[in-house]
Structure 1
């Protein structure tokens, strides 16, 4: 397989990271454009700069998030089929493998942990480069987001916000977020797989309703954003198993069913 190029089947640009193919669908750019829709109408030049910076930060943060999953899985002898980056974020697809529920929980937690570390790196860079120390402790913790005196300062602070948001959102107990996978794995030994999925699904349904209110409020304020978790997979989990079962990012200990990928975002389908 070529090292990089356009994959027509998945409608995505593909390249390899340590022999793991990474598919970047064109829809991955949508979250970087949405926050600046109003600015595009008033100041297109500034909007372009802001969009490019946010797109780069999202790409770096989400890619390292998924590579952290890959690293944690590899430490447990589980390989990775591929990584998809698309409008909903990113997802790593693992090869069939076995590990304990706590092992899968650690694999799921590795992604948000990478974002926490990145957020700390951006915080350090902001205060060492954009605003040299010393910094007043009270001001550091209690002040609102700082003024954007320079584009570097704005980019570093945005890096903090992006990675903090990714870490928090991904740790929510809902599907298909990492927090949902962690909660399900930790609850399964006590409640069983079915009940654990229903508990996480109920939390996800509640959170999906809350996120709709937040997105609506942001739209009224003039900012278009998309935040997880979606309603459908959580409603399915809460409702219980059906004939049409969704494929989990973190499969059970026994071998997962074979999958293939089709275009428009790399959605998985059974062979």
Structure 2
């Protein structure tokens, strides 16, 4: 997730904080200090309410972090790679590699978070009824409720919520078809997202300010559910195709070629991506990524200086799947990917060729479904 700052590393997992977290942290602290705590515990001063609000808001996000950490530790126990946990506007998200995950692994990983939230809710409830300290009693009153709510919300059987992931795992085990399982789970997720949006709109028209939160959350869940299903469809299509099937011979340009001469030769060719190669392959060039160059520099700067170095690019082989190429092109935010064989450049695969194949396969699949 972009614009996230690394806080620390625990169990080999980077914990990051997205800048949007601060907006929610401040909002929750303010709403607790100005409304929640004064309503349930009217005996405190404004300063004390703010102290309780800030502490409770911070501990809420610690609870969210522990919820995501529970997912991550189960994943690591199943030998699944976990890169990071990021706290952001809508809570937290763990960056977990889901390639070829077994249904049982996804199921246990999915329910680990809500189960730990239930455990935390129980801990805070016990601390609340012990009534050790007045302010602490108020804080734990809020935290035990929020952890139970967090668990209940995440157990809703709609993807991408934890309950939806568990449902997808069960459906995947039953149907042996990850695409079908995701379609059903994501469909339920979109229905739940639609319910949240409608609930939020009704609340807004009724003068309840929290309605906006439901609208935003519903929209976010709908977007993620839709994207998640699309990603599974893309994987199911491109996993069956090799890089060799979609790779083409590249247009090669000399690294010493001046930019002004390059534009004279290729400016109107319709081509936008090139391989930079002298005695050996050195990088790739994408015209659309070249920033504006001053007239004086056009006669001086070379193609080599404008290209992305080979050392900065992860490449593929002819035997790799097209989905592997798609992931690398997407994550590296490039348009052309070198195809290597025994450390030598043999061809390239482009974002456009992958997109065209996806469109063709999707259309062909739709036509076949209609005929069937």
Report the TM-score, using the length of structure 2 for normalisation. Answer: 0.53
- Partner residue of 2:350? none
2:82 and 2:232 map into 1 onto residues whose CA distance is 26
- Aligned partner of 1:270 among 331, 346, 358: 331
- Aligned partner of 1:100 among 92, 95, 102: 102
The range that moved more, 23-32 or 90-99, is: 90-99
- Partner residue of 1:129? 131
- Partner residue of 2:213? 226
The range that moved more, 118-127 or 207-216, is: 207-216
How far residue 74 of structure 1 moved from its aligned partner, in angstroms, is 1.9
* Contact 1:257–1:270 under 8 Å retained in 2: no
Query: 1:241-262 deviations in whole A, cap 9, x for unaligned?
Result: 66699xxxxxxxx9x96979xx
Query: 1:82-102 deviations in whole A, cap 9, x for unaligned?
Result: 111111211112247665211
Query: 1:118-172 deviations in whole A, cap 9, x for unaligned?
Result: 00111111112359xxxxxxxxxxxxxxxxxx42222101111111111111111
1:116 and 1:106 map into 2 onto residues whose CA distance is 15
The verdict on how the C-alpha distance between 1:61 and 1:225 changes in structure 2, with shifts beyond 3 A counting, is farther
* Contact 1:80–1:93 under 8 Å retained in 2: yes
* Contact 1:174–1:200 under 8 Å retained in 2: yes
Query: 1:42-91 deviations in whole A, cap 9, x for unaligned?
Result: 99756643541332122211111111112111221223111111112111
1:172 and 1:56 map into 2 onto residues whose CA distance is 25
The verdict on how the C-alpha distance between 1:26 and 1:224 changes in structure 2, with shifts beyond 3 A counting, is farther
Of structures 1 and 2, the one with the larger relative CO (CA 8 A, separation 6+) is 1
- Partner residue of 1:4? none
- Partner residue of 2:162? 178
Matched ranges for 1:1-271 at <5 A? 10-35=3-28, 36=30, 45=47, 48-95=50-97, 99-130=101-132, 150-191=134-175, 192-219=177-204, 220-223=207-210, 226-227=213-214, 228-229=217-218, 230-235=221-226, 270-271=331-332
The verdict on how the C-alpha distance between 1:152 and 1:96 changes in structure 2, with shifts beyond 3 A counting, is closer
* Contact 2:190–2:225 under 8 Å retained in 1: yes
The verdict on how the C-alpha distance between 1:37 and 1:124 changes in structure 2, with shifts beyond 3 A counting, is closer
Local SS of the residue matching 2:112: helix
Q: Which has the larger radius of gyration?
A: 2
Gaps of 5+ in 1: 1-6, 132-149, 246-253, 261-268
Report the TM-score, using the length of structure 1 for normalisation. Answer: 0.70
* Contact 1:65–1:115 under 8 Å retained in 2: yes
Supply the RMSD in Å over aligned alpha carbons: 3.6
1:241 and 1:107 map into 2 onto residues whose CA distance is 19
How far residue 193 of structure 1 moved from its aligned partner, in angstroms, is 1.7
The verdict on how the C-alpha distance between 1:240 and 1:64 changes in structure 2, with shifts beyond 3 A counting, is closer
The verdict on how the C-alpha distance between 1:54 and 1:212 changes in structure 2, with shifts beyond 3 A counting, is farther
